Amino acid sequence: MKSPTVRHRRLGRELRQLRERSGLSTTAVATRLGWSQSKVCRIEAGQIMISESDLIAACELYGADSATTAGLVQLAREAARRGWWTAYADVFTGSYMALEAEATVIRKWEPLAVPGLLHSEDYAREVIRARHPNLTEGELSRRVDARMQRKTRLLGTSAPMFHAIIDEAVVRRRVGSREAMDRQLADLLRASERANITIQVLPFGAGAHPGMEGPFSVLSFEPGDPDVGYVESSAGEVYVEADVQVGQLRLLFERLSEAAMSPEESAELCELYGVERDQLRQGVTGPGHDVEGDDPMRRRALLTTAATIPVGLVVAFDDALDVPPEPERPEDLPQIRRRLAEARRLWDASALTTLMATLPGTLAAAREAAERIDVPAAWALAAAVHDVATDTLNKIGHKRSARITADRSVLLSARSGSPVAMGASARALGMMLRTTGRYPQALRVVDGAASRLESAGLRTPAQAGMYVRLLCTSAYTLAGAGDRVRAFERLAEAERAARRLPPQQAEVALPFVLLYRVNLNHVLGDPGAGLHVGRRLKEEMYPTPERKARLWTDIARVAWPTGDVEQAAEALIKAHAYAPAEVRDRPSIRAIADELVQRHPRVPGARELATAIGHPL
């Protein structure tokens, strides 16, 4: 399918709206104007240009006033203007460059090479030569010149927001000489320092992930112009314009962003590979210089987060996972319960920095007590502490360590023999499997735990409450896998189970379930439906600062893609008021907040939000 430019699409949309208001069908218009019906449809789809005389004739037929007609004529003239890329018509084919030139936000997933907009000259030359080996030196140089000209838009005053996610293989694979690759990595580092550019690396440790079908882009434009997806391969290019399909690409990108390293961690990785190449040139090897990337000293050097959690706390946490600290003194079960209660209190308050500081000691004390006392209750407590750790690490984007604590919780809860403890561990592990796109495995884990609880008879409030949570997690996983029908069936089952709980427990569980309706619609690419549900929820329904803030961040997540910028800003400000860490320290929410204040600084609330998150305007 040939893609229209942004102005062609806008013009076609305006003409279609005029025609529909006039009550004329495409067949009637074709007959009255002496066109083919195909011509009418292609003009409205923005796939072909319309002459000025044809445009005026259509406007007269539709009963448009003179001001509307003049505006559309001007829009048609702008659409016909030649962009800089037309001078390279032998290099750039299709309509992608016209779309890219007008985009305000570009999201790019690239598993194979550095995105073209970030190429250094030497890297571009090697990539183009590899793909087109029969080019003459003159033809090769012309393509490189075109790519460098294209790159300048990212550096101008009207530069778009550019968010690139690249596979770790991209920075590890040497393209050209070592010196050329070093220059490319240095270019990436410099680019990542610009306010309009975000670069993330998806690490090998992510395993199977949502982007394994290949590269794609999602381009966003000024309000009123819908997003466009773009998929390129050696067989050709595909432009994705259907709202549902574009929404699916946006969601894929969001999941990749959640699974990837933070921008700061990604920059550390790029810098580290440059250092490694320098060490190889100097013959440096041995402990601390493991080129294959498995050395713990190298892993330690990469530890950081996407937000404001102090790096030292994250380093200390990972050190404690490697070698648990010795507790100052043995603790009994009541003391471990108090530690767990305090960890949950900090979680409910969204006091993530304090929680990260205390978790290593709590994990070590709980594990030591379980091994020493060796009773089911001790193992269940140790598992519960690890579940809190998994939730916390996942929230701040430190997913590799979250997977470790989730795995350990499963082992610990199994020794407790408690269906509730095993259910909580399964929920945490299922969540981590889901974030890397392993939906079938996540469903087996979560649904298996729910079945065990059901077999136990759901005799206690704790069993029934955990059963509700597992059903919600299962529904979210089904949504992630694209199974809309089963996802909402599972959530309806969770709602019925929540209504069967004792009144006081149901009062907490039901709002929890209802908030999942917002999330399911978001995941399934229907943010408008999610926003409709979210607007019916009240913050009074949620008892803790973390839950109140989560309500508002979830509303922001569905308001933002619908174009309701004011609602998104208002929701983020309210979330920040209840729990600043929910906006500041969650990578996916922080990304929305940063993009909002960057793209819409004059929207009501944008300045207040920028101040809250420390984003310069």
For 299-331, the pLDDT digits (tens) are 433 333 434 577 778 888 988 888 888 888 999
pLDDT at 497 over 50: yes
pLDDT at 90 over 80: no
Interval 332-356: pLDDT, tens: 999 999 999 999 999 999 899 999 9
pLDDT at 315: 83
How many structural domains are present in the chain? 3
Read off the amino acid at residue 242.
A
**Span 221-232, average pLDDT:** 84
Which of 527-535's residues contact partners 24+ apart within 8 Å by CB, and which partners?
527/247, 527/557, 527/558, 527/559, 527/560, 527/561, 527/562, 528/558, 528/562, 530/554, 530/557, 530/558, 531/555, 531/558, 531/559, 531/562, 531/564, 531/567, 534/558, 534/559
pLDDT at 149: 86
pLDDT at 292 over 50: no
Interval 443-478: pLDDT, tens: 999 999 999 999 888 889 899 999 999 999 999 999
Q: Is residue 318 part of a domain?
A: no
Least confident segment among 41-50, 105-114, 335-344: 41-50
pLDDT at 284: 39
Query: In terms of domains, do 71 and 95 share one?
Result: no
Query: In terms of domains, do 59 and 103 share one?
Result: no
Query: In terms of domains, do 188 and 245 share one?
Result: yes
pLDDT at 37 over 60: yes
DSSP 8-state assignment for residue 213: T
pLDDT at 182: 84
pLDDT at 157: 67
Query: In terms of domains, do 192 and 252 share one?
Result: yes
What's the CATH number where 253 sits? 3.30.870
Query: In terms of domains, do 551 and 595 share one?
Result: yes
% residues pLDDT > 70 (the chain): 90
Interval 150-174: pLDDT, tens: 888 777 667 888 999 999 999 888 8
Which pLDDT band holds residue 285 (cuts at 50, 70, 90)?
very low
pTM of the model: 0.60
Q: Which of 81, 109, 136 represents a domain boundary (last residue)?
A: 81
Q: Is residue 604 part of a domain?
A: yes
Query: In terms of domains, do 45 and 174 share one?
Result: no
Query: In terms of domains, do 64 and 112 share one?
Result: no
Q: Is residue 422 part of a domain?
A: no
% residues pLDDT > 90 (the chain): 45
Q: Is residue 20 part of a domain?
A: yes
Determine the structural domain holding residue 574 and report its residue range. Answer: 526-617
pLDDT at 80: 67
pLDDT at 194: 83
Nearest alpha-carbon partner for 42 in 9, 7, 70: 9
pLDDT: which is higher, 585 or 125: 125
Query: In terms of domains, do 114 and 260 share one?
Result: yes
Q: Which of 81, 96, 113 represents a domain boundary (last residue)?
A: 81
pLDDT at 14: 84
Report yes or no: 202 and 266 within 8 Å, Cβ to Cβ: no
Q: Is residue 28 part of a domain?
A: yes
pLDDT at 397 over 70: yes
Cα–Cα distances in angstroms (integers) from residue 21 to residues 14, 24, 70, 158, 460, in the given order: 11, 8, 18, 36, 61
Query: In terms of domains, do 34 and 96 share one?
Result: no
Q: Is residue 378 part of a domain?
A: no
pLDDT at 5: 65
Query: In terms of domains, do 50 and 103 share one?
Result: no
Q: Which of 50, 81, 112 represents a domain boundary (last residue)?
A: 81
Which pLDDT band holds residue 71 (cuts at 50, 70, 90)?
confident
Average pLDDT, the chain: 85
CA atoms of 317 and 499, how far apart (whole Å): 39
DSSP 8-state assignment for residue 221: -
CA atoms of 591 and 483, how far apart (whole Å): 27
pLDDT at 81: 66
Report yes or no: 363 and 386 within 8 Å, Cβ to Cβ: yes
Query: In terms of domains, do 13 and 62 share one?
Result: yes
CA atoms of 544 and 575, how far apart (whole Å): 12
Q: Is residue 142 part of a domain?
A: yes
Most confident of 268-282, 311-325, 560-574: 560-574
Q: Which residue has the tokens 């005029």?
A: 18
Query: In terms of domains, do 202 and 243 share one?
Result: yes
Q: Is residue 297 part of a domain?
A: no
**Span 33-40, average pLDDT:** 90
